[in-house]
Structure 1
Amino acid sequence: MNLDDFLRTDPLDVGCGEAMELLHRYADLHATDPASAKERYPGIEAHLRACGPCSTDFEGLLALIRG
């Protein structure tokens, strides 16, 4: 990560570690009520906007949940 990337980081972004710990809960809630998920987990929402690999994992979880 260079300085420009760091300065553009959303201060709400929880990072990969915390996002992965809670991603299953976020995905479960997001599948039924996306607005509530974004409100309840703003740090995960911010992280998913910035992190491609975590966003890919999230999309995979959603696909499994929606079956």
Structure 2
Amino acid sequence: MNYNDLTAERQVVAAVQSLEAILQQASTGQEDCVVQVNGPQGGLVLHQPGGGSNVLYAGQV
């Protein structure tokens, strides 16, 4: 991988952002959240048990 290969870094940033959102929710007692990647609502969407969702990143990952 070249030092300027941003396509590889994009996936890593998306994974880190997803995990941070899941851990933040877990720290407030909202467990079992998942993040959908490149779904119909956006590039990163946090889904909470019970049907709530939050778009973390609207563009495609």
- What range describes the TM-score normalised by the shorter chain of this pair? under 0.3
Structure holding more helix per residue: 1
Q: Would you tell me which structure has more strand in proportion to its own residues? A: 2
TM-score normalized by the length of structure 1: 0.26
